[in-house]
Every structure is written in C-alpha cells, then in structure tokens.
Amino acid sequence: MLTRLLHALNGVLATLAGVAAAHLVAALTVPAASPVLAVGSTVIDLTPTPVKEWAIKNFGTADKPILIGSVMLGVLILAGIAGIVAARRLTAGLLMIVALAGVAGVLAMIRPSAGPLDLLPSLVAALVGVVALWWLHRLEETGSHQGAAGPSRRGVLLAAGGLAVAAAAFGSAGRFIAAYRLKGTDIELPAATGTAKPLPSGLEEEVAGISPFRTPTADFYRVDTRLSLPIVDADSWSLTIDGDVDREVTLTLADLYELDVIERDITLTCVSNDVGGSYLGSALWLGVRLTDVLALAGIDNTRADQILSTDVDGMTISTPFDVATDGRDAMIVFGMNGGPLPREHGFPVRMVVPGLYGFVSATKWITKITLTTYDDQQAYWTERDWATDAPIKISSRIDTPKPLSDTDAGRTFIGGVAWAQGVGIAGVEVRIDGGPWQPATMGPDAGNDYWRQWYLEWDAKPGQHFVASRATNKAGDVQTAARMSPFPEGSSGIQEIAVNVG
C-alpha cells in the first residue's frame, strides 16, 4: 500500500510541475490558456443553468476558486493513477500524463478567440510532466537495485523535493507575472461635456449599516464567467461595428474620446441577484452614448432587432435593439467613479444599458458590436434559455439590521435600498411581524436609473421579530410578493428577515 502511495505521489509531483510550468508560460502569453483554467472554463460552459445558479447563490464570489480547486483535485487524482500505472508500465503512465495535458490543450484551442499560442501551455505541461515522471521512475528503479539505503533511493527523495520546490516556484512566478500584467489601467480620460448632476449626500452617515449612496469601486460586485481576467492593451484595443449597418466601422479609444463624452449615475443589477442579494451596485460612469457609436456605422435602415456584443475572448451578449436605442442613457463606458475602468469591470471599455439586467446589457471587455436578429444569431445566455428581453424588476433590500442578527432593544433603524431602473422609486414600506405596511423615510433621488436609500425608525421590543420591505415605483407599481428564482428573467418576491432583539 505504501509503495502504491509513493508511486501515486510521483504522478502527482510530475503533474504539479507540468501544470505550474504551463501556468508560468500562460502568464507570459495567454493566461486563459493555462490548463486548469481552460478545463474550468469548459466546465462553466457545460454546467446546467440550475447548477450555476445554485453555486452563485451558495458560494457567491467564491464559486470560481471552488471550481478551480475541484478541477485541480480531479487532475491530481488522475495524475496519481498515472503514477501507479507508470510503476508497472512506464509508457502507459506517460501517455496518461500526455492525455491529461492533451485534453486541456484541446479545450484551450476550441475557445472562440483561440490562436496558436493557446496550445503552448498544454504542450509545456505535457513535456515537463512526462520528463519529470520518467526521471522519478528511473531514479526509483536504480534505487531499488541498490537497496533502501542506496544513494539513488536518497536521490529519489531529493528529486521529489526538488520537483515540489520547482512547482511552487513556477506557480508563484506565474501568479506574479499575471498580476503584474493586469496592472497599468492608468490612462488619461477625456472630460465630460455632459456632466452628471452632483450626487446628493446619502443616508449612510445617518443610518449605520445602510449601503453607501455611491458604491466604492473596490466594493462593486463582479459576476461573470471569467476564471482569469483578460489582459487588454488600451493602445491596441479597438471596437468594430458590423452586421446590418451601412458600413463597417472600427474605432480606437482615441476615436471614442472625440465623440460627445457624458457621465451618468446608474445602478447595475445582475440577473443572478436573489431577493435581498448583493449583486447590484451604483456608480458614476463616463463614456459615450451607444447610439452615437452605432450612428457612425449607419443604422437608419437596419432590420436588426438585436445588438450582439462580443468581448475580447469571444463571449457574446445580446441586447434588444429597440430597448437600447429608445432614448435611455445606454453607454459605451471607459470610466468608473472618476477613474478608468478597473480590469475586473471591463477595462478598457464596457457597455452599460440602464434598466436591463447585466446578462443582456453590460458586456465587459467589449471589442465588437454586431447588428443582427435573434433568428440569425444567439448569444451565450440565449443559448442557455435565459430571457432575451430582461427589464429589471422593482425590488428593495434590507441592509440593516442583518438577518438573524442580535439587536439591542430600544430606538433603532431599519434601512436599505430600493431600485426600479428606468422608472424610479417613489417609496418604500416596511412591515414588522406581519402588521400593517408603514411608509419609510426616503433618501435623496438621483434619477430614475439610480437606487434610493430608505429607513424606518423602530422602537424594538425584546424577542424575535420578522421584518419585511416592499417598494413602489413612480408609475405606481408595487413590488410583487410572487416568489421567482433568478432563472430565466430575474428574481422577485418580498424579502423578510428574522431579527433577535435583546
């Protein structure tokens, strides 16, 4: 049994060395082609929608590290088997290592934006893994002939330790290089000709625990399918508009800067946001109108009903043409909260369409816009049966007190945010222990595309209490109590939390 474990360890160490070397090469070339990331990305694409939603709901932003860890665990189990096989049939064990790397290579090459360099990390993984396992096998064979105390047996142990150190060094170097390449988003942004109105002071200084009126960039939510951030050079970036247009146009950042630059306060919401969830945020966006960009290609006679946007890695998102061009502040964005877009939020350029969930409006790292029809082309989420037209539903969230929290008896506050992008929030009501709905005090109104803060003063009595909130938009529509999961068009329902008052 111990011998098998040692053979399995040979396979694991050899594979770790190969994967780490491949990760280093990927960091220098195409980070997304790193073998584990290539396999993980394919797992994401093949995962059924209900499973994805379950993972997002239960793991939140930790879903990607958990996925990568699971993929790596599976790879190492197979690597251990390869080590055991190699002890008896070396060629068969080595072929298993090659097969593991080969699968990753194939998956890297079938990515929409794949090029020749995408295969290189997997080739390195195969080469390093095979050489490492062959070397450990030869040292072990030599050691067995010389006895347990022989120099070659000690050589096996030293070699194994050396491989472990090398794997750690390669992996650390890869992470350092990738992080270094992700820096450098400091670009000079143009001044806006159409500035947003100054944002009023929010309620966060009056009501402890309520969400800031403007979400700090570092705290802004991020939900996407990326396991590694695209590394895009602002100087070489371009945006192509093609499809059913009068003429194909390709624009650089400098070309965008020459258009009418505007800034707008807009709240974004992810369709995966469950009732009371955290996947929304409000920011000041700097960019140009989407309609101004489309006009450069000529769209007066277009028959398109879909704006199909594509990012630098081939991810596609579809936006209803008539909604995006109906006069709302749909934007091609290059600035966020006074600075350039961070890479995790789409540097150098992304799309923002207020009033629609992000999966049909908020393409990050955008590089192409195609005017087409839903009958002719389907985007990533459309192929997975999500809705094509997904207006954001009116909703409210309780920020304070937190669910199941302990609160001191006496005067306190119930507070949170409410949103109904495109229409605007008129008011919020709060219900305590199933009693009558009570109107909350509303925070400042920064426009129909922006959320509103609210609070209700509460004389909390000892015991457990149940608190709920509901919003009403400016058209008089009240937030529905009908419960719906995020799939396929966004969640709905009333958030009700339990609070313990002592």
Cα 287 to chain centroid distance, Å, stands at 21
pLDDT given at position 149: 46
pLDDT given at position 341: 96
The CATH code that applies to domain 217-383 is: 3.90.420.10
Fold agreement between 217-383 and 395-501: no
pLDDT given at position 150: 46
CB 187 within 8 A of CB 340: yes
Which segment of 2-6, 14-18, 243-247 scores lowest on mean pLDDT?
2-6
d(CA 363, CA 385): 18
Beta strands in 420-462 (DSSP E): 425-432, 438-439, 441-442, 452-460
Query: To the nearest whole percent, how much of the chain has pLDDT over 90?
Result: 76
pLDDT given at position 146: 53
Mean residue pLDDT across the chain:
92
Q: Provide the pLDDT confidence category of residue 57 given band limits of 50, 70 and 90.
A: confident
pLDDT given at position 143: 59
Q: Provide the pLDDT confidence category of residue 176 given band limits of 50, 70 and 90.
A: confident
Mean pLDDT calculated for residue range 171-185: 82
Nearest to 293 by CA among 339, 326, 325, 340: 325
d(CA 79, CA 97): 7
CB 289 within 8 A of CB 262: yes
Q: Provide the pLDDT confidence category of residue 151 given band limits of 50, 70 and 90.
A: very low
> Do you find a cis peptide bond into 488, omega within 30 degrees of 0?
yes
Q: How many helices (H) and strands (E) does the chain have?
A: 11, 19
Q: Provide the pLDDT confidence category of residue 184 given band limits of 50, 70 and 90.
A: low
Q: Which 3-state string (H, E, C) describes 269-331?
A: ECCCCCCCCCCEEEEEEEEEEHHHHHHCCCCCCCCCCEEEEEECCCCEEEEEHHHHCCCCCCE
| φ, ψ dihedrals at 352, nearest 5° | -135, 120
CB 400 within 8 A of CB 414: yes
User: Is residue 67 scored above 50 in pLDDT?
Assistant: yes
Q: What is the pTM of this model?
A: 0.87
| Residue position matching structure tokens 């650089």 | 252
Nearest to 7 by CA among 82, 61, 62: 82
pLDDT given at position 59: 80
Report the run of H or E that residue 466 belongs to, with start and end.
strand 463-473
User: Is residue 374 scored above 90 in pLDDT?
Assistant: yes
Nearest to 438 by CA among 428, 448, 447: 428
Q: In this structure, which topology does domain 395-501 adopt according to CATH?
A: Immunoglobulin-like (2.60.40)
Amino acid letter for position 460: A
User: Is residue 179 scored above 90 in pLDDT?
Assistant: no
Which segment of 6-10, 87-91, 150-154 scores lowest on mean pLDDT?
150-154
Mean pLDDT calculated for residue range 265-276: 96
Tokens found for residue 121: 């990390």
Mean pLDDT calculated for residue range 158-184: 83
Nearest to 333 by CA among 298, 366, 382, 303: 366
Tokens found for residue 286: 């700097």
Mind listing the pLDDT tens digit for each residue in 440-478?
999 999 999 999 999 999 999 999 999 999 999 999 999
Q: Provide the pLDDT confidence category of residue 78 given band limits of 50, 70 and 90.
A: very high
Break the chain into its structural domains and give their ranges. Answer: 2-181, 217-383, 395-501
Residues paired with residue 240 on neighbouring β-strands, in sequence order = 250, 368
DSSP string for residues in 71-106: HHHHHHHHHHHHHHHHHH-HHHHHHHHHHHHHHHHH
C-alpha distances out from residue 452 to 267, 365, 426, Å: 10, 29, 9
Mean pLDDT calculated for residue range 272-289: 96
Go through the chain and tell me how many residues it has.
502
- Return the axis-axis angle of helices 63-88 and 120-146, rounded to nearest 10°: 40
Query: To the nearest whole percent, how much of the chain has pLDDT over 70?
Result: 97
Q: Provide the pLDDT confidence category of residue 112 given band limits of 50, 70 and 90.
A: confident
User: Is residue 256 scored above 60 in pLDDT?
Assistant: yes
User: Is residue 152 scored above 70 in pLDDT?
Assistant: no
d(CA 4, CA 348): 51
Q: Provide the pLDDT confidence category of residue 437 given band limits of 50, 70 and 90.
A: very high
Which segment of 145-149, 286-290, 308-312, 346-350 scores lowest on mean pLDDT?
145-149
